[in-house]
């Protein structure tokens, strides 16, 4: 079940980020922050979440760490069912396609993730999914 306090914090972050065109709320723990709007896997309703990201060439990579939880975050399940989404990076909003990385490609990007966000290292026993978002 979702934490009501976390829900309020997330809603405020989204509101401030959007109102400031990403000038406020655009960095978190040393990483850039984007707003990811997915389609709910069960509800079919739009769901917006502020998330840290790393760049991989022209793509944005999200780390489905869920704060080190042993469970994947809801946004990850949403993207599994509906891989088309929308992101806002700063003042720009655009459509993206999501794909979960596997094998050697995941390992290559994981090394970059740990370089840019070392806090992701060894926070859970599960393999943390990496999701590449590309325009279009």
State which CATH number among 3.30.465.10, 2.30.110.10, 2.40.160.40, 3.40.50.2300 fits the domain covering 4-135: 2.30.110.10
| Low-confidence residues in the chain, pLDDT < 70 | 1-2, 122-123
- Please state the domain extents for the chain: 4-135
Instruction: Please state whether beta strands 31-39 and 27-28 pair in parallel, antiparallel, or not at all (unpaired).
Output: antiparallel
The residues, ordered by sequence, that sit 6+ positions from 80 with a Cβ below 8 Å of its Cβ are 41, 100
| 50-71 tens-digit pLDDT | 999 999 999 999 999 988 888 9
Backbone angles phi, psi at 111, to 5 degrees: -60, -40
d(C-alpha 6, C-alpha 56), whole Å: 29
């Amino acid at each position: 079940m979702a934490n009501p306090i976390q829900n309020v914090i997330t809603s405020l972050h989204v509101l401030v980020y959007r109102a400031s065109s990403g000038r406020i709320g655009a960095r978190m723990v040393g990483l850039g922050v984007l707003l990811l709007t997915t389609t709910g896997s069960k509800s079919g309703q739009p769901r917006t979440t502020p998330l840290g990201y790393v760049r991989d060439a022209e793509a944005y990579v999200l780390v489905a760490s869920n704060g080190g939880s042993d469970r994947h975050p809801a946004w990850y399940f949403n993207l599994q069912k509906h891989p088309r989404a929308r992101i806002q990076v700063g003042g720009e909003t655009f459509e993206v396609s999501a794909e979960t990385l596997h094998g050697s490609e995941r390992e290559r990007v994981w090394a970059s993730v740990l370089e840019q966000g070392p806090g992701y290292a060894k926070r859970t026993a599960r393999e943390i999914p990496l999701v590449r978002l590309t325009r279009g």
